[in-house]
Structure 1
Amino acid sequence: MTAHGVGLMARQEIRTRLRTGRWKTLLAVWFVIVNGLGLLLRLALEASDTSEFGEEGVPMFGGVLLGVLVLTLLVTPALGGQSINGERERGTLATLQVTRLTPGDIALGKLAAAWGTGLLTLLLTLPCVLWPVAEGAVGLGRAAVVLLVIALLIGAVCAVSQAWSALLARSVTSVLMSYLTVFGLLVGTALLFMIGVPLTSERVDHGDHVHTNERTERVWWLLAPNPVVVLADAAPRLPEREIVIDGRVYERTPSSDPLGDLSREVRDIREGEKPYVEVNSATPRSTSDEYSRHDRRDKDDQKSVWQYGLLFHLALAGGSVALTAARLRTPLYRVPRGVRVA
């Protein structure tokens, strides 16, 4: 496997995709829809006037990013779900396999082309994503982190979709399985967590009544692979606001922050208790408190779950690439029924 071989395969795959004009039309429609929805969300936030301190950019940023993540993951399976078996159906895969390209070259080259197309769809969403950054509501660092996480998640789904394409003979079936995989990551993990909570709960007898203690710290890992959880928890926290009244400092978490609210909720689930007060409520503290804000942030960082979810996706992507390369090895001693070789 060489960089030259991977690049050659990627360029060939991109040329094949660009031969039809429908890709340009689809990308144009994607650009209009995503940025149009972002604009409508901003107008709705300004009209409702529910954002604290008049910063509509914070909820706009979180809402748009969550929407972009879900939409891109729904589009991604179509990019690699038929890259291998589609070549078999056209009788062109054998031509690639008899060249000097190795199975790794073919697998990584096709993955690079699919991932590059996915990154292009992400690039087209930048106008509405960077709008809050341009007006100063969200820092550039926070935007860069969440975009990087989305890019990695897109690559992982592309790799899984390509593996299904290598495993299954029919492209329709592989695309369907790719969408089911995305559905499992987005919805299935949440359903498993909801089922796991009552199964791991404890009933505590207080004499006059029985209390059910939910042990969410036992099943939090079921939520870790969820792409929405990974994105929200990986996003750097917005700074807390301080309000000084009669010599006491009141700290408030930023309101209307979808990413931050979801991150706090997930970390509370891992902790197994509710250490936070209600969102947007003010908590008084003395300026001489020994328990500093830095200490609280360090403790909060220890409850993060995004690194486990991201490692799961990277491991899944690596295994998928290895499986795809293994399915491309020649000679092929047994051909699946009804599959064209050349």
Structure 2
Amino acid sequence: MTARGAALVARQEIRTRLRTGRWRVLLGVWFVLVNGLGLAFRLALEADYDPGDGHPGVPMFGGVLLGVLVLTLLVTPALGAQSINGDRERGTLATLQVTRLTPGDIALGKLAAAWGSGLVVLLLTLPCLLWPVAEGAVGPGRAAVVLLVTALLIGVVCALSQGWSALLARSVTSVLMSYLTVFGLIVGTPLLFMIAVPFTADRHVGGYTEQHEERVWWLLAPNPAVVLADAAPSLPKRRVVAGDHVYLVSPPGDPLGELSRDVRGLRVEDGYRYRTRDDRPPVWPYGLVFDLALGAGAVWVSAARLRTPLRRVPKGVRVA
């Protein structure tokens, strides 16, 4: 496996994608749709703006980013879920396999092309995401971290989609399984958490029951929204004077910070024992490592399924 071989495959994949004019149209529609929704969200925030609620750029950044994450992960499976079985169905995959390219070159090259397309999709959302940064409502460090995490999550979904493409013979089936995988990460993890919580209950004398979310918090860790929100650096604290006391509190209206505080609070037996987010143990390292491990496993599966000679050809699929 060489970087040069993977780069050759990636360039070929990108050229193939650019030959169809529909990509330009889809990207244009995506740019207008996402940034238009971001602008509408900002106008709605300003229409109901209260100076005591802090800068409207803070909820705009968090809200738009979470929306962009979900929408991007819903678009991403289409970028890689047909990359291998689609070529096999068209009889063009064997052309690559008979060259000196290794299975790893082909797998990584196709992943790089799909991931690069996903990053272009993310890049087109930057106008509405960087608006609060330009205003000074959100620091550039926080923006850089969350964009990096979003880019990694896009790569994970691209790898998982490609893994399904390598495992399944039909591209329609691999696309469906890719979307089900994304659905499982985004929606399935909180559902599984809610189902598991009642099983953690301890029954005490008098019929009193106590639930222990700290025993199953890890079920939420792989959720992309949880990883993104918890990895975001905290916003600078605000000084609040109450009588003779001065308190440092988090700025209001921050969706990322609020989600992070709630999830981190699940890791301790009494979620209110710690008053600030930074005093609570983080969740995002566990979730991100789990997601990256899933992606790495999917890449390994893709390379393994590309090895030749084939022992068995899927029914109804051409080799060349």
- Give the partner amino acid of 1:112: A
Correspondence 1:237 to 2:234 = yes
Aligned pairs for 1:178-197 within 5 A:
178-197=178-197
Aligned to 2:101: 101
Structure 2: how far apart are the matches of 1:244 and 1:184?
Answer: 45
Q: Is the 8 A contact 1:85 1:166 kept in 2?
A: yes
Aligned pairs for 1:238-253 within 5 A:
238-253=235-250
Q: Is the 8 A contact 1:229 1:306 kept in 2?
A: yes
Unaligned runs of 5+ in 1: 278-282, 284-295
Aligned to 1:289: none
Q: What is the DSSP-based 3-state SS (H/G/I as helix, E as strand, rest coil) of the residue aligned with 1:25?
A: helix
Structure 2: how far apart are the matches of 1:272 and 1:185?
Answer: 25
Structure 2: how far apart are the matches of 1:127 and 1:238?
Answer: 21
Aligned to 1:166: 166
TM superposition shift of 1:211: 2.4
Aligned to 2:35: 35
Q: Is the 8 A contact 1:52 1:256 kept in 2?
A: no
Which has the greater radius of gyration?
1
Q: In structure 2, which of residues 280, 291, 300 is the aligned counterpart of residue 313 of structure 1?
A: 291
- Give the partner amino acid of 2:73: L
- Give the partner amino acid of 2:165: S
Q: Is the 8 A contact 1:201 1:212 kept in 2?
A: yes
Aligned pairs for 1:50-61 within 5 A:
50=50, 52-61=52-61
Correspondence 1:335 to 2:313 = yes
Aligned to 1:299: 279
Aligned to 1:228: 225
- Give the partner amino acid of 1:38: G
Aligned to 1:89: 89
Aligned to 1:290: none
Q: What is the DSSP-based 3-state SS (H/G/I as helix, E as strand, rest coil) of the residue aligned with 1:108?
A: helix
Q: What is the DSSP-based 3-state SS (H/G/I as helix, E as strand, rest coil) of the residue aligned with 1:270?
A: coil
Which stretch of the first structure deviates more once superposed, 245-254 or 169-178? 245-254
Aligned to 1:70: 70
Structure 1: how far apart are the matches of 2:286 and 2:51?
Answer: 32
TM superposition shift of 1:52: 3.4
Q: What is the DSSP-based 3-state SS (H/G/I as helix, E as strand, rest coil) of the residue aligned with 2:208?
A: strand
Correspondence 1:213 to 2:210 = yes
Structure 1: how far apart are the matches of 2:105 and 2:314?
Answer: 23
Aligned to 1:271: 268
Q: Is the 8 A contact 1:58 1:256 kept in 2?
A: yes
Q: Is the 8 A contact 1:51 1:255 kept in 2?
A: no
Distance 1:220 1:50, change over 3 A: farther
Q: What is the DSSP-based 3-state SS (H/G/I as helix, E as strand, rest coil) of the residue aligned with 1:271?
A: coil
Unaligned runs of 5+ in 2: none
Query: May I ask how many residue pairs the two structures share in their alignment?
Result: 320
TM superposition shift of 1:213: 1.0
TM superposition shift of 1:212: 2.0
TM superposition shift of 1:201: 1.2
Aligned to 2:254: 257
Q: Is the 8 A contact 1:77 1:158 kept in 2?
A: yes
Q: In structure 2, which of residues 302, 307, 320 is the aligned counterpart of residue 324 of structure 1?
A: 302
Instruction: Note the alpha carbon deviations across 1:267-322, whole angstroms, 9 max, x for none.
Output: 01111323169xxxxx9xxxxxxxxxxxx77632xx11100000011101111001
Structure 2: how far apart are the matches of 1:190 and 1:119?
Answer: 27
Q: Is the 8 A contact 2:54 2:253 kept in 1?
A: no
TM superposition shift of 1:53: 4.7
Q: Is the 8 A contact 1:80 1:162 kept in 2?
A: yes
Distance 1:341 1:310, change over 3 A: same
Instruction: Note the alpha carbon deviations across 1:2-58, whole angstroms, 9 max, x for none.
Output: 111010000000000000000000000000000000000000000011563540000
Structure 2: how far apart are the matches of 1:31 and 1:298?
Answer: 35
Q: Is the 8 A contact 2:264 2:277 kept in 1?
A: no
Which stretch of the first structure deviates more once superposed, 182-191 or 243-252? 243-252
Structure 2: how far apart are the matches of 1:52 and 1:14?
Answer: 49
